[in-house]
Structure 1
Amino acid sequence: MGKKFLLLFANFGLMPFVLSIFTFIFMSTGLNDIMIASLLPLSIGGILAGFLVSNKRQQSGKFQGLFILYLLPLAYTAVLWAVFMLISGGFYGANSWLYYSMFHLALGPIYFFAMFSGEGRLFLWAPLAYELAFVTGVFLAGLINKVRPAFNKRQFLTVLTVFVVAMGTGVAVQWQRSQTALPSYGFKYGGGYSSTDLTPYEITNPDNKLPKLTAPPAFTIKNPSEMPILDGAEAAFPVYSAFANATYENIKVMGESSEVVSFTNTIYAYERLLSGEVDIYFGAVPSKEQQEMAKAAGKELVMTPIGKEAFVFFVNPSNKVVSLKVSEIQSIYSGKIKNWSEVGGKNKRIIAFQRPKNSGSQTLLEKIMGDTPIMKPLKEDVPEGMGGIIEQVADYRNYDNSIGFSFRVFATGMKENPDIKLLAIDGVEPNPENIASSKYPFTASLYAITLKDNPKPTIKPFLEWMQGPQGQEIVERIGYIKAVE
């Protein structure tokens, strides 16, 4: 028994550790694909180790009973992987995988890279690559030596059954997760806050496409210390950037030296408003949680409507569905309706995308849903720099069975996509006429939100200017509907 343990330790402990060191060597030579850098030495080394170790024993006739022993690590890896897949729910960014690596210390160097780069697949494929390669080497030696490995069939079937059941369990967890999780997708702009390129709307960009007033501004702010600091939702960025561009004197110079016009998206911008870092927040109505945050901070919000907008749902143009009822939207996002055939479409599963909690668009979805619970959103695993991977709400993908939502200006202007089709709601299309009259059921207001106790003297006249003719001219030219006719 002691000799067999030493044999396992040498071939499945020390040898994989030595081979895993080559990952460092390959990575230091500029090979940036961690999967290749890890699996290549393990596979080649595993075949050589299996061949050399068994070749001599087969020739001397001392191979009896060792074949089953060499299969045990495969079963061990499969069971271990299945257990931790169940614990983590298949999410490789979970802390539990740190404990998993402790049961495979020999591959510690590779797991370090796996956690560092977010390549969770190596938790399974690193040990499996070596163990399968080792068994392959054993078979190659047997073929050359013309030796058929003798083994107990019952033991073989037991090990094989354990391996198959364990792998099946892990794969089942992975498949189940694939129904609600997608791979990382797309490029993030604005330090990771934005999902589209906002450069065309930045005040420091000499070629920006911000609308210019047809007459000199009726309101200006000359003193930099009196310029309100602006932040808000992604869809509102062109509006408040244009406001500052029109009224802040020497704004291009100011924008290069200080961040008077910033963008950190709805969630962070709102928090910055409450903390006093920002003077005016631009976006849709705050969520219940955000309103509670204001109450807890002892802050009273002043909500100034500056424009009207449509909250729209969209699908791939190949989808023959052109309109949905409000009740059907509620059923889709609660998970009650799961197939497009239930609403007049093809027999395909509905992939319903959402937005992060407390974002402006998700808040409006919650308002539409009322007391109907929203199903869990699709997730994606995203590389997080030096810390492995995180799990976040998946961005919209224009699959032919997808449905997503956003604000009309963002979906058709800022992030214009000719391959999406806006849906009518209860037969009413989200066009400017229906938004202006509020005939479209999901008409929303765009607000400039301030704190009542903010002492900055320019805030009140600035808000009044936004609701005046020039402010409304900018709102309309950006693509929103005037709040004040």
Structure 2
Amino acid sequence: MSCYGLIPLGASFLGALPLFFGGPSWTCLVTVPLLTWLIYFSLDGRVDQRRGARINGISLLLLALCFTVLMVLGKGSVDSTAVGQLLWLTLPFCPLWLILSLMGERLILVLAIFLTYAAGYLFCTCRKGERPRWRRLVLPGVGLALCAALCTVLYCSRPEARYGGHGFAYMSGFSSTDFSQYMVYSQPGRLAALDHPASFQIEDQADMPVMDGAEACYPLYAAAAKAVYQDIAAIEADWAHSGADTGTNGKIVTFTNTVMGFDRLVRGDADLFFGARPSADQLAYAADLGVELEITPIGREAFVFFVEEDNPVDSLTREQLRAIYHGDVTDWSQVGGTPGEIAAFQRPAGSGSQTMMEYFMGEVSLKEPLTYEMVDSMAGVIRHVAQYANEHGALGYSFRYFIEGLSQEQGVKLLAVDGVSPDLAHIEDGSYPLTVPLCLVTRKDAPNPNVKNMIDFFLSPDGQTLVRETGYGALAPREPRPEGE
């Protein structure tokens, strides 16, 4: 290997040293090009600057061209297999390649390689003792600029960015929604609250039933915990600051997701599960483990379909929706809209909204969902369900509280179903055809006596106030259980 290959190798090795000590990956964008410059400077007079400029310039142009082609083929993903194969050709950067690939920082790696060759080219050009011929640089410069612009556009619109969901880094990575203002200890917070002490309260921490549930339900049961569980804000704040790793994001008021939360209930790690009615598979899973469940509706929610706000379609029938998601209807003109393909998005399997969609479809099968591939450096190719993107012709579904209570989707409008809009009045009187119960699921053999008390609280006037103030439809309050029941 010539000195022109050893220079990037040395810069790559030295520039990667901060990563061994926990340094941020972006430092490589500064350290590696700077070290390349310093190495060339230390070798000044012992290398052919003309040849160095030519080698670095040609390497930069070839890599830019190859990378751009692969970005086009990979739809903007730097994690594609083809880009990984290209990076194997950059052997002088192997120390940096190894560390950053294991860290999942391919984009940083690519930028560091380009900047390194650019640094070498600029140094040799400035030091070769000749007046730069700028006219010769116009065409390569324009080419690099066009490649950079195209790659930037492709990267920003790559499938994992468009269809990967919201990706908030809250709730131990389980949430797709920013719940930072809905924690029981958030100050200021956005949880619903009573204007008086709750009719039922639990003082002893050991008597507090552990809560878990679907993502959309977290603001409701967190509000109930704050009203009923004494000092719960301090309990959860102390737990959060302790750094305890229990696989959840709370001690008593926890949130995982529909699948894991239900599993925790069945296995006895949680006492109260909040969500939509369990799926047939979930009920069979509990039965297989010999667990009897009690399912108590505590509120009303709407399963909704939504489109971009400028879509002229305002209402669809249940039959039309099933036909779209079965694949029989594929164009908006077939349902009274402007001609154009219907991009019917689904949700990941096991999520609450996907479970509800399966109930809604009944005997009609769902067509294969839109998917995209992501390449993980350790796990290989992983296929993900493409989540809703607010683009022309898009159609999605969720629960009303996600859209209107949490503002999860922007620039959308909710569709009426069978001519009835999913507003709160139509949800509470049941006229909206896709009104669904918001359920509290418990084990019939729950050892904590406060499990039944919490069911009664949610059905009481105070509990129903929290249900409605959170944004769900309320039920008619039920009388408390007779003492001793």
Alignment TM-score > 0.5, same fold: yes
Counterpart residue number, 1:360: 352
Tell me the amino acid that sits aligned with residue 263 of structure 1: F
- 1:134 CA displacement: 9.0
Counterpart residue number, 1:195: 176
Q: Report the Cα distance in structure 1 between the residues aligned to 2:37 and 2:269, rounded to whole angstroms.
A: 57
Q: Report the Cα distance in structure 1 between the residues aligned to 2:329 and 2:47, rounded to whole angstroms.
A: 59
Of 405, 422, 431, which residue of structure 2 is paired with 1:430?
Answer: 422
- 1:447 CA displacement: 0.8
Of 180, 188, 194, which residue of structure 2 is paired with 1:212?
Answer: 194
Q: Report the Cα distance in structure 1 between the residues aligned to 2:398 and 2:331, rounded to whole angstroms.
A: 22
- 1:130 CA displacement: 7.3
Q: CA RMSD in A?
A: 5.3
Does residue 245 of structure 1 match 2:239?
no
Q: Report the Cα distance in structure 1 between the residues aligned to 2:445 and 2:82, rounded to whole angstroms.
A: 47
- Does structure 2 retain, via aligned residues, the 8 Å contact 1:47–1:136? no
Q: Report the Cα distance in structure 2 between the residues aligned to 1:255 and 1:289, rounded to whole angstroms.
A: 33
In structure 2, do the counterparts of structure 1 residues 138 and 260 end up closer, same or farther at CA, with 3 Å as the change threshold? closer
Does residue 318 of structure 1 match 2:310?
yes
Counterpart residue number, 1:112: 98
Tell me the amino acid that sits aligned with residue 473 of structure 1: T
Counterpart residue number, 2:287: 295
- 1:306 CA displacement: 0.8
User: How big is each residue's C-alpha offset from its partner over 1:236-275, in whole Å with a ceiling of 9 and x where there is no partner?
Assistant: 1222223323333444444445622222232322222122
Q: Which has the higher helix share?
A: 1
- Does structure 1 retain, via aligned residues, the 8 Å contact 2:59–2:117? no
- Does structure 2 retain, via aligned residues, the 8 Å contact 1:308–1:444? yes
User: How big is each residue's C-alpha offset from its partner over 1:321-350, in whole Å with a ceiling of 9 and x where there is no partner?
Assistant: 212333443454456655545544455555
Counterpart residue number, 1:164: none
After TM superposition, the structure 1 stretch with the greater mean CA deviation from structure 2, 401-410 or 181-190, is 181-190
Q: Report the Cα distance in structure 2 between the residues aligned to 1:81 and 1:372, rounded to whole angstroms.
A: 37
User: How big is each residue's C-alpha offset from its partner over 1:201-253, in whole Å with a ceiling of 9 and x where there is no partner?
Assistant: 43334654423166750x33343322211111121122222332333344444
Q: Report the Cα distance in structure 1 between the residues aligned to 2:339 and 2:94, rounded to whole angstroms.
A: 47
Instruction: Give structure 1 stretches of 5+ with no counterpart.
Output: 1-5, 59-66, 147-166
User: How big is each residue's C-alpha offset from its partner over 1:87-145, in whole Å with a ceiling of 9 and x where there is no partner?
Assistant: x998655799878755543221232353255333467677678789999999999x999
- 1:280 CA displacement: 0.6
In structure 2, do the counterparts of structure 1 residues 433 and 297 end up closer, same or farther at CA, with 3 Å as the change threshold? same
Does residue 182 of structure 1 match 2:162?
yes
- Does structure 1 retain, via aligned residues, the 8 Å contact 2:215–2:257? yes
User: Which aligned pairs between 1:429-468 and structure 2 lie closer than 5 A?
Assistant: 429-468=421-460
- Does structure 1 retain, via aligned residues, the 8 Å contact 2:33–2:116? no
In structure 2, do the counterparts of structure 1 residues 331 and 44 end up closer, same or farther at CA, with 3 Å as the change threshold? farther
- 1:18 CA displacement: 2.8
User: How big is each residue's C-alpha offset from its partner over 1:371-399, in whole Å with a ceiling of 9 and x where there is no partner?
Assistant: 223413467789x9x99998755664444
In structure 2, do the counterparts of structure 1 residues 23 and 394 end up closer, same or farther at CA, with 3 Å as the change threshold? farther
- Does structure 2 retain, via aligned residues, the 8 Å contact 1:273–1:280? yes
Tell me the amino acid that sits aligned with residue 205 of structure 2: P
- Does structure 2 retain, via aligned residues, the 8 Å contact 1:181–1:379? no
- Does structure 2 retain, via aligned residues, the 8 Å contact 1:351–1:403? yes
**Residue aligned with 2:106, SS:** coil
Of 385, 388, 397, which residue of structure 2 is paired with 1:405?
Answer: 397
After TM superposition, the structure 1 stretch with the greater mean CA deviation from structure 2, 358-367 or 219-228, is 219-228
Q: Report the Cα distance in structure 1 between the residues aligned to 2:124 and 2:327, rounded to whole angstroms.
A: 51
Tell me the amino acid that sits aligned with residue 162 of structure 2: L
Q: Report the Cα distance in structure 2 between the residues aligned to 1:400 and 1:319, rounded to whole angstroms.
A: 8
Q: Report the Cα distance in structure 1 between the residues aligned to 2:383 and 2:298, rounded to whole angstroms.
A: 35
**Residue aligned with 1:261, SS:** coil
In structure 2, do the counterparts of structure 1 residues 352 and 372 end up closer, same or farther at CA, with 3 Å as the change threshold? closer
User: Which aligned pairs between 1:4-19 and structure 2 lie closer than 5 A?
Assistant: 11=4, 13-19=5-11
- Does structure 2 retain, via aligned residues, the 8 Å contact 1:181–1:378? no
In structure 2, do the counterparts of structure 1 residues 329 and 121 end up closer, same or farther at CA, with 3 Å as the change threshold? farther
Residue correspondences, number: 442
**Residue aligned with 2:398, SS:** strand
**Residue aligned with 1:246, SS:** helix
Larger Rg: 1
Tell me the amino acid that sits aligned with residue 110 of structure 1: L
- Does structure 2 retain, via aligned residues, the 8 Å contact 1:381–1:389? yes
Q: Report the Cα distance in structure 2 between the residues aligned to 1:31 and 1:44, rounded to whole angstroms.
A: 21
Does residue 480 of structure 1 match 2:466?
no
- 1:469 CA displacement: 3.4
Counterpart residue number, 1:371: 365
Of 277, 280, 286, which residue of structure 2 is paired with 1:285?
Answer: 277
**Residue aligned with 1:182, SS:** helix
Tell me the amino acid that sits aligned with residue 182 of structure 1: R
- 1:285 CA displacement: 1.9
- 1:454 CA displacement: 1.9
Q: Report the Cα distance in structure 2 between the residues aligned to 1:180 and 1:416, rounded to whole angstroms.
A: 18
**Residue aligned with 2:277, SS:** coil
TM-score (norm 2): 0.69
Q: Report the Cα distance in structure 2 between the residues aligned to 1:337 and 1:135, rounded to whole angstroms.
A: 57
- Does structure 2 retain, via aligned residues, the 8 Å contact 1:356–1:393? yes
Tell me the amino acid that sits aligned with residue 362 of structure 1: Q
Tell me the amino acid that sits aligned with residue 210 of structure 2: I
Q: Report the Cα distance in structure 2 between the residues aligned to 1:470 and 1:55, rounded to whole angstroms.
A: 80
User: How big is each residue's C-alpha offset from its partner over 1:171-199, in whole Å with a ceiling of 9 and x where there is no partner?
Assistant: 9xx89x94676387663322322233334
In structure 2, do the counterparts of structure 1 residues 31 and 190 end up closer, same or farther at CA, with 3 Å as the change threshold? closer
Instruction: Give structure 2 stretches of 5+ with no counterpart.
Output: 134-146, 240-250, 478-485
Q: Report the Cα distance in structure 2 between the residues aligned to 1:41 and 1:484, rounded to whole angstroms.
A: 70
